[in-house]
Amino acid sequence: MAQTIQEPSARLSPSTEDYLKAIYKLEEGDPVPTKALAGELEIAAASVTGMTKRLAERGLIEREPYKGATLTDAGTKVALEVIRHHRLLELYLKEEIGHSWEELHEEAERLEHHISEAFEDRLDELLDHPTRDPHGHPIPTRSGEVEETATQRLADLEDGDRAVVGHLSDKNPALLEHLEECGLMPGASLEVTEAQEVTEAQEVAEAQAFEEPIAVRVEGGEPQLVGRVVARSVFVFLAAS
């Protein structure tokens, strides 16, 4: 059942919101171990232990010894609110201001903790109530609903498979720039083709740059080679056969 996002009666600190957002992204149905949370936040495990104790005291998470942390309903509301802010901001910064992929995430990270709900509503209206951020990740609604996320990777498709790009890994700005050049953006339709369809010049150049390339035709264009490393960062929805 969808959770309703409500503005906290007292604004939480940015670090607290970052913890809750990180737990939400990592939990996937299981408690998040301290080590995994420390790695996600790039801080010491001892600091994570102390903060999760405080979050549990505030009713935002539940802690299980030797297993990790799980968000409560209250913690989930906060996490989804912050994620909604972040993804709306990323879309605004990319489409309206023209930020580069390298600038996008860090700028949204700084702003997400400080915008009001009124500003969020204006941003949502300005962007025509979007459902996805520039990477294709779903933007939670105000009522806490989150659209389906693609789980199939482009690298795992076979010749003849057709798909639509769902979302992209957002960890590497240089990779995102390359994907944009290739047309492998969220919403793009593609088909995996035989490598023989790619010109020899393309094949040599791409094979030198990327590991085990696969041939992909995007939106009916010419086939192009995409390295497996790159293709593992593209998540797709398989098209109905």
What is the tens place of the pLDDT at every residue in 110-154? 999 999 999 999 999 999 999 999 999 999 999 899 999 999 999
In a domain, 228, yes or no: yes
In a domain, 106, yes or no: no
Average of per-residue pLDDT across 57-80: 95
Identify the pLDDT of residue 229: 87
Domain C-terminal end among 44, 71, 98: 71
How far apart, in whole angstroms, are the C-alpha atoms of residue 105 and residue 27?
Answer: 21
pLDDT band at 29 (very low <50, low <70, confident <90, very high): confident
Query: Residue 138 gets which letter from DSSP?
Result: B
Please report the DSSP string for 21-51 in residue order. Answer: HHHHHHHTTSPBPHHHHHHHHTS-HHHHHHH
In a domain, 97, yes or no: no
In a domain, 140, yes or no: no
Q: Which of 110, 96, 10, 114 is nearest to 60 (CA)?
A: 10
Structure tokens at 238: 């398989």
Structural domain including 61 reads 14-71
In a domain, 122, yes or no: no
In a domain, 65, yes or no: yes
pLDDT band at 3 (very low <50, low <70, confident <90, very high): very low
Identify the pLDDT of residue 53: 94
What is the total count of domains within the chain? 2
Identify the pLDDT of residue 203: 52
pLDDT band at 194 (very low <50, low <70, confident <90, very high): confident
Domain C-terminal end among 39, 71, 103: 71
Q: For residue 31, what is the domain's CATH number?
A: 1.10.10.10
How far apart, in whole angstroms, are the C-alpha atoms of residue 185 and residue 169?
Answer: 11
Average of per-residue pLDDT across 182-186: 95
Q: Give the range among 3-7, 39-43, 132-136 with minimum mean pLDDT.
A: 3-7
Q: What are phi and psi of 147, to 5 degrees?
A: -70, 165
Q: For residue 178, what is the domain's CATH number?
A: 2.30.30.90
In a domain, 116, yes or no: no
In a domain, 136, yes or no: no
Domain C-terminal end among 22, 40, 71: 71
